[in-house]
Structure 1
Amino acid sequence: MAKPAAVKKTLGQHIGARIGKASGWLPAVAAFLCLCLFAAAAITLFDVNSVPKTGQKANATGLSAQGTAGLRRLLEARGHEVIVNRMEDGPLIEHGDLEIITLDDDGGTLTYAYHFDSDDTSSASSASVSSASVSSADAASESAASASVSASGDTDDETGNGATQIPDPRRSKHVLRQPLGKVVLVVAPKWNAGPDPRNRYWDRGPTLVAAANVVDSLGFLSPVSEVPAPKDDKQAVARIKASPPGTQTVRNGDSLVTFDLVSYVLKRDTRALSAAEMEAAANGQKDLPLKHLWTFKPTAEGIAFAAPVSVGAITGLQSITGPNLQPVLTGPNGEAVLSRVIVTRGRPQPKAPIYLLSDPDLLNNQILADPQKVVAALNLIDTISPPANKPGRVIFNLTFNGISTDHDLLHALSRPPFIAVPLCLLIAGLGLMWAAFSRFGPAREAPVEPPLGRGVKILADNAARLMAITLKEVRLGPAYADLVRDQVLKDKGYRLGVNAESPDDLAERLGQAQKTTDSFIDLKARAAKVMTVHQLIDITLKLHAWKTEIQRAHT
């Protein structure tokens, strides 16, 4: 019976022979880890500026029905150069022909609430009241089939404390003075889209944005100025009370913000089909018109559309009017769907034409379900775009949706032209890794019994290197010939210096007697004339062959 130790040893040898040494895996494991490290660096570098993909969002990244990601793909398919901008400003920001700004239900990036003190309550309240534009006649004219809301951007919070929604001065300056396109299209918000507040893994059903929130988000379409506030509170209050007519000045920290009190009127068509119309639609009858089918017509002073724009069914058509809006495209009842933004009271007009699209359903992902709406959307884009460049460069500005990028080192290094620096470092790192693995392989085993010994080998190597450095190795030809000659004469029994003949003549005579291939005198003469190392090697080989022929004949 075999002993346990012997069985264990035999089994270990068998497994080792089958699997191999574990040290053989180390190069592969090291290479895999290095590649993973470089892959992680590359992903971080290229993903930092990628376009985010969101689900239930009413902006250019949204993949739901309320988003406009489908419009980006349509424009790319038509040949437009589509750029998604997430940078606020800076030298690397890109410009194009058309800038599209989609406003979602997140108004925090466009306005911020200002809570006034008791000293400012009277002025703020009076300004709010004076800016209201809904008269009793207007309210009476609105039927139950439509909803109308007017606001100036001033609201009261639930606690009863006065609050004013101040437009963001940066957004106003960007749109009116520093746009990214030759034409700017602003898409008003309409739908609440996002995760369910009770369960963030669910998407809530689409609901209409509060009309007051829509109006508040449009405050940046008018000039907004921001100046440092005086240190003296009395001077600050005096400036607030001295605001020009139609404007309001409020104090926000260390600044005084002055903005227009614009009265926007928002209407939504809430007419529902009657039972007869629903039955007629179900039976396929065409004699009864469906009230939610829309065909828009351009106004006389607006831009030139080729023909009336038929967009089909739209749920709750939203229209917005205001003193700084000139209708360009209207519905059958005068609903302003597309308007030109102007600056009132004789002030400088915007640097580029600005258009406000009241209803986002003309451009969002819902149009993908109807070819007629797709054609209408593309016709709208082509009409307002600059005539010189079609298809041109379209920029979707995401900074108005609160998903802008910071100007840090990582973002700077991941954009041209600075992206060349990390790319060169990655390539250099991969090259160094390849060179390391190609140069250093498995350890070479040293011979058990070196023939010359380590010391002799080192001395020979050093001598060879020294001779190579001095470039005098070609002069060793005659000395090697004399060495070969002396070895042959010694083997034959001749004693040097005793014979009457010279050593060269004696070697030549031995060669003739043995009928060697080459003559020794000739080989020695040629050895004295070598000029290169290759010639020296050739002559030494011939001398060695001459010696071998004489020794074989002797044996």
Structure 2
Amino acid sequence: MTAVAPARRGGGGFSPMVMLAVILVGVFSFAAFFTLSAFAPELTTGRDGRAHALSTSAVGFAGVVRLERVRGVDVSIGRQPMDPARLESLVVLTPENPISIEELDDAAGSATLVVLPKWAVGPHPTHRGWVSRYSQYDDGSLGVLINEIAPGVVFAQAEGEGAVRLSYRDKTTRTSGRIERLQTISGPNLTPMVTDGSGRTVLARFDRGGFLPIYILADPDFLNTLGMGDRNTAQAGLAMLDQMRVENEPIIFDVTLNGLGASRSALRLAFEPPFLGATLGLAIGAGLLGWRAAARFGPAAPARRAIALGKAALADNSAALIRLARREQRMGAGYARLIAGDLAELISGSRKSDEEAAALLNRLAGIHGVTPNYTQLEAEAANAKTPHQMLEAARKLHAWKEEMTRATR
């Protein structure tokens, strides 16, 4: 006869370590997705070749941002309109489309500089982030750009290319590097801040009746990356910014008008102080609950019926009612008689009255030397005053029944 070895029990489709790794990767991916969704605008590189503070192209302003930071100036990128920090900063706007009064008010700071565009450009065919110059904006296009915030302003473009001698409002003069087709501004409600050698306005203060100053820079080549490539032009442009700043206030380069802003959201607030602490607490709590569920001892308890069936449920419900009514100690005498009747029937084989059962049990206890006798135990149960005394008497009766059962076999 050949013995057949028992089949080995399979270990499941995946090992515990594999499942743990899958869960951890899933949790990390889920958290990373929501975090990146909340901060997606801040992760935008802005290397699109356009004229804004994140662009490193010739018409972009990333160069002046970096240069001001090297000089020790507090410079930041403004992605949220109506940020309270703007009220204590010089805000630089670089609009590419017509700007409305509402947009200006939302983005303005303690002082606001509007840098007008000059060159119409397109993406470079072979280098990402570079641009190819197509043409120069005409005065009509520039007028449409700021007509709502500064009506009546007129622009002019000089011919040729060369260094520009600039006169500042504080009576200082500087000579820039080579500027191609210098762009100037004129019109009502304009106060010249920086002029060229012919007295044409390059930087002006616009008076629109408000208490917060608005400045307009006609030629962006004094601040864009193309201008920062020349030492003299860079010094001239930085001197313009210094003239507009009050007591070394910070500078915010706005990008909301360029479509790179970030709006406030509940998801974003969850990852920023002071709500970040609550988010981390919830994440840690969820992790601990998951660990507790995975590392529990023993199998899961089987589900039970909401309403139990059978004699056990009836007994439990009856006991609960007795306990609720605080009648446990009054059950002693009845429990003793129940024990006596069951034991007497078990020994004699016939049902007996309470008196006959008590007499039989006392006589058998004396014969077999079991102490105390039944009458003493019945009296103790009947005289119980508290649930604890009743419970102790019931235990003694149960133990006495077991001993009598063994003695009479």
- Please say whether Structure 1 and Structure 2 have the same fold, judged by a TM-score greater than 0.5: yes
**TM-score for both structures, normalised by structure 1:** 0.48
Alignment partner, residue 322 of structure 1 = 186
Tell me what 1:299 maps to.
169
Counterpart Cα distance in 1 of 2:211 and 2:203:
17
**Mapping for residues 120-131 of structure 1, pairs under 5 Å:** none
Q: Relative CO higher for 1 or 2, CA cutoff 8 Å, sep ≥ 6? A: 1
Q: Which residue of 2 aligns with 1:167?
A: none
Within 1, Cα distance between the matches of 2:31 and 2:222? 42
| Residue pair 1:299, 1:329 contacting (<8 A) in 2 also | yes
Match of 1:357 among 217, 230, 234: 217
| Whole-angstrom CA distance in 2 between matches of 1:268 and 1:503 | 135
Distance in 2, matches of 1:543 and 1:71, equals 97
**In 2, Cα distance between the equivalents of 1:203 and 1:28?**
43
Contact 1:180 1:395 (8 Å CA) reproduced: no
- In the other structure, the counterpart of 1:62 is 55
Match of 2:94? 102
Q: Aligned-pair distance for 1:369?
A: 8.0
Matched, 1:217 2:210: no
Deviation at 1:298, TM superposition (A): 2.6
CA deviation after TM superposition for structure 1 residue 102, in Å: 0.8
Worse-superposed segment, 457-466 or 180-189: 457-466
Kindly tell me: are residues 203 and 40 of structure 1, through their superposed partners in 2, closer, same or farther at Cα, counting changes over 3 Å? closer
Identity %: 18
C-alpha contact (below 8 Å) 1:317/1:359 kept by paired residues: no
Count of aligned positions: 374
The secondary structure found in structure 2 opposite 1:520 is helix
Q: Is the 8 A contact 1:342 1:349 kept in 2?
A: no
Task: Write out per-residue CA displacement over residues 370-426 of structure 1, whole angstroms, 9 at most, x where no aligned residue.
Answer: 999989877754542455xx6458361532x35679x9xxx8766779x99xx99xx
Which aligned pairs between 1:394-433 and structure 2 lie closer than 5 A? 394=252, 396-399=254-257, 401=258
- The CA distance in 2 between the partners of 1:213 and 1:540, in whole Å, is 107
Corresponding position: 1:181 with 2:181: no
Superposed displacement of residue 28, structure 1: 8.1
SS in structure 1 of the partner of residue 192 of structure 2: strand
Q: Distance in 1 between matches of 2:142 and 2:317?
A: 83
1:265 aligns with 2:156: yes
Matches within 5 A, 1:251-290: 260=152, 262-267=153-158, 270-271=161-162
Distance change in 2, residues 1:438/1:185 (3 Å): same
Change (3 A) 1:466 1:500: closer
**Does the CA contact (< 8 Å) of 2:204 and 2:217 recur in 1?**
no
Map 1:372-451 → 2, pairs under 5 A: 381=241, 383-387=243-247, 391=249, 394=252, 396-399=254-257, 401=258
Task: State the Cα deviation string for residues 273-305 of structure 1 (Å, max 9, x = none).
Answer: xxxxxxxxxxxxxxxxxxx6x89663248xxxx
CA distance in 1, matches of 2:260, 2:122: 15
Distance 2:63 2:391 in 1: 77
Give the one of 338, 357, 363 matched to 1:483. 338
Alignment check: 8 A CA contact 2:223 2:237 kept: yes
Deviations 1:526-550 (A, max 9, x none): 6x4334xx87666654544444455
> Taking structure 1 as reference, are residues 375 and 35 closer, same or farther at Cα in structure 2, changes over 3 Å only?
farther
Q: Distance in 2 between matches of 1:542 and 1:370?
A: 106
Query: Could you tell me how far apart the structure 2 residues matched to 1:493 and 1:466 are?
Result: 31
Task: Judge conservation of contact 2:340–2:358 (CA < 8 Å) in 1.
Answer: no
CA displacement at 1:186 relative to structure 2: 1.0
Offset, 1:188:
2.4
Is the 1:66–1:366 contact (alpha carbons within 8 Å) kept by the matching residues of 2?
A: yes
- The Cα of 1:183 is off from its aligned counterpart by 1.5
Residue 79 of structure 2 aligns with an amino acid whose one-letter code is: V
Distance 1:459 1:42, change over 3 A: farther
- How far the C-alpha of 1:222 sits from its partner, in A, is 4.9
Aligned match of 2:79: 84
C-alpha separation in 2, matches of 1:309 and 1:538 = 106
Deviation string, structure 1 residues 338-368 (Cα, Å, up to 9, x no partner) = 522335xxxx545531112344455445798
**Counterpart code for 2:142:** S
Amino acid at match of 1:211: Q
Q: Structure 2 length normalisation: TM-score?
A: 0.61
Q: Pick from 342, 357, 365: which aligns with 2:206?
A: 342
Q: Which structure 1 residue ranges, 5 or more long, are not aligned?
A: 1-5, 88-92, 111-169, 226-258, 272-291, 302-306, 447-455
Tell me which amino acid in the other structure corresponds to 2:52.
Answer: N
Shift of 1:185: 0.6
Letter aligned with residue 352 of structure 1: L
Structure 2 vs 1, CA of residues 379 and 17 (structure 1 numbering), >3 Å: closer, same or farther?
A: farther
